[in-house]
Amino acid sequence: FKANLRVTKPLFNEILSKIEHLIAPRHNRGLLGRVKLASTLRFLAQGSYQKGVGNEFNTAIAQSTFSETLEQTLTAMERELAYTINVNLTNQEKVDANSYFYEKLPVENVAMVKLASTLRFLAQGSYQKGVGNEFNTAIAQSMFTDTLEQTLTAMERELAYTINVNLTNQEKVDANSYFYEKLPVENVAMCVDGSHIRIIAPHENPTDYYNRKGFYSLNALMICDHRSLIRFVDARFFGSDHDSYIFNSSPISSYLDNKWNSGERDSAYPAKPWLIKPNRNSASGSSEALFNTQHANARSIIERTIGALKNRFRCIHAERQLHYTPKKCIKIVNVCCMLHNLLIMNGIILDE
């Protein structure tokens, strides 16, 4: 039976039960549905067109009537068995398929898929939805969480060199020249600001992350130079923390106490001998007001830098929200900053 029809008897009966109402005889002398199905299966299995089908004992049907039977049965099978072909895999099927193909692929190809999936997520900012549907990032969503964690950890470690607060002598000269044109103060090298990274409410201490703007966030401290390179990032702080507290608590404060003579900051930051902030409540037209205008012009580079960072990596854009633990969100911010710098270092300009 199986040799002739390529199906077992139970499977034959299952198929027949699905299509019999479509191929049942129209009159008493018509061919039974099981004969029609057997004839069609025999033809499909043998591959000798219609010749010989009518000579089979279990598919007794005249060759002259087989064409009509074949058309009717194929139409019924195509309709009723369509459910067997489905491009949408279940979550478990995706897991099984990925495990199978990962074993077959060379290691470098697996790494490429993981990296492409992670970069796609960072750039698109649509969480995990859609990543598994990309042709060049074929990975099941159910496996993406582990892939993201693994790849982010590797990138954070290996790309750490891209963020360096120590400027070379030439970089200091270039930075001083850039900032002096905007603000007539010697030895200005970098600018500092904070940026809120929107996250979901954490399970632990959620109120600490609720900021004055009315959403949950990390308050990330960032420092950039005249080229928009991010020279320092610290995203470990709660959304409710004030910029002044963050700056004083971050290791960069004590580090710069020993390293730099001057740097640009906004009025939210504490007084430091090497930091310059705008004057509060300056009278219009006064020298203090002019200084504030020049100061704002000079420090606009940090605002543009943060804007470019969030536009390039939409996962941290203000319109998005990271659906991960604060620890993983910090890692995401760090890697985005590293990739931002890597683009600048390689002269890559993105259409934003």
- Range with the poorest average pLDDT among 117-121, 189-193, 285-289: 285-289
Residue 229 has pLDDT above 80, yes or no: yes
Residue 161 has pLDDT above 80, yes or no: yes
pLDDT band at 283 (very low <50, low <70, confident <90, very high): low
Instruction: Please indicate, yes or no, whether residues 63 and 192 belong to a single structural domain of this protein.
Output: no
Asked, for residue 106, whether it belongs to a domain, the answer is: no
Asked, for residue 249, whether it belongs to a domain, the answer is: yes
CA dist., res. 158 & res. 280, Å (int):
43
Domain boundary (84, 110, 128) is at 84
CA dist 249 → 241, 259, 292, 328 (Å): 10, 17, 26, 21
Task: At 225, list the tokens.
Answer: 């130079």
Which residue, 282, 140, 261, 266, is CA-closest to 131? 140
Asked, for residue 57, whether it belongs to a domain, the answer is: yes
Asked, for residue 90, whether it belongs to a domain, the answer is: no
Which is more confident, 261 or 298?
Answer: 298
Instruction: Please indicate, yes or no, whether residues 176 and 55 belong to a single structural domain of this protein.
Output: no
pLDDT band at 97 (very low <50, low <70, confident <90, very high): confident
Which residue, 118, 106, 126, 120, is CA-closest to 147? 118
Q: What is the mean pLDDT of the chain?
A: 83
Most confident range (mean pLDDT) of 48-52, 122-126, 201-205 is: 201-205
- Could you report the per-residue pLDDT of 133-149, keeping only the tens digit for each? 554 555 666 678 888 99
Q: What is the DSSP string of 200-262?
A: PPPSSSGGGGB-TTSSBEEEEEEEE-TT--EEEEEEEEETTS-HHHHHHHSHHHHHHHHH-S-
Strand boundaries in 269-340, DSSP class E: 275-276
Task: At 283, list the tokens.
Answer: 């009278």
Residue 190 has pLDDT above 80, yes or no: yes
Task: At 147, list the tokens.
Answer: 């892939």
Asked, for residue 148, whether it belongs to a domain, the answer is: no
Instruction: Please indicate, yes or no, whether residues 68 and 175 belong to a single structural domain of this protein.
Output: no
Asked, for residue 99, whether it belongs to a domain, the answer is: no
Spatial contact of 18 and 80, defined as CB atoms under 8 Å apart:
yes
Task: Note the pLDDT of residue 135.
Answer: 44
pLDDT band at 92 (very low <50, low <70, confident <90, very high): confident
Number of domains in the chain: 2
CA dist., res. 49 & res. 39, Å (int):
11
* Residue 195 CA, distance from chain mean position: 21
pLDDT band at 126 (very low <50, low <70, confident <90, very high): low
- Could you report the per-residue pLDDT of 9-59, keeping only the tens digit for each? 999 999 999 999 999 888 777 788 888 898 899 889 887 644 444 455 455
Instruction: Please indicate, yes or no, whether residues 178 and 283 belong to a single structural domain of this protein.
Output: yes
pLDDT band at 156 (very low <50, low <70, confident <90, very high): very high
Strand boundaries in the chain, DSSP class E: 191-198, 217-224, 230-238, 263-264, 275-276
Which is more confident, 33 or 231?
Answer: 231
Which is more confident, 233 or 99?
Answer: 233
- Could you report the per-residue pLDDT of 255-279, keeping only the tens digit for each? 877 765 445 544 444 445 556 666 6
Residue 107 has pLDDT above 60, yes or no: no
Domain boundary (58, 84, 110) is at 84
Residue 88 has pLDDT above 70, yes or no: yes
The mean pLDDT of 277-304, rounded to a whole number, is 75
Domain boundary (66, 84, 102) is at 84
Residue 202 has pLDDT above 60, yes or no: yes
Which is more confident, 136 or 229?
Answer: 229
Instruction: Please indicate, yes or no, whether residues 76 and 176 belong to a single structural domain of this protein.
Output: no
Asked, for residue 123, whether it belongs to a domain, the answer is: no
Asked, for residue 266, whether it belongs to a domain, the answer is: yes
Residue 191 domain boundaries: 162-346
Task: Note the pLDDT of residue 105.
Answer: 62
Q: What percent of the chain has pLDDT over 70?
A: 79
Task: At 82, list the tokens.
Answer: 């369509």
Instruction: Please indicate, yes or no, whether residues 318 and 230 belong to a single structural domain of this protein.
Output: yes
Task: Note the pLDDT of residue 53.
Answer: 47
Residue 207 has pLDDT above 60, yes or no: yes
The mean pLDDT of 182-188, rounded to a whole number, is 79
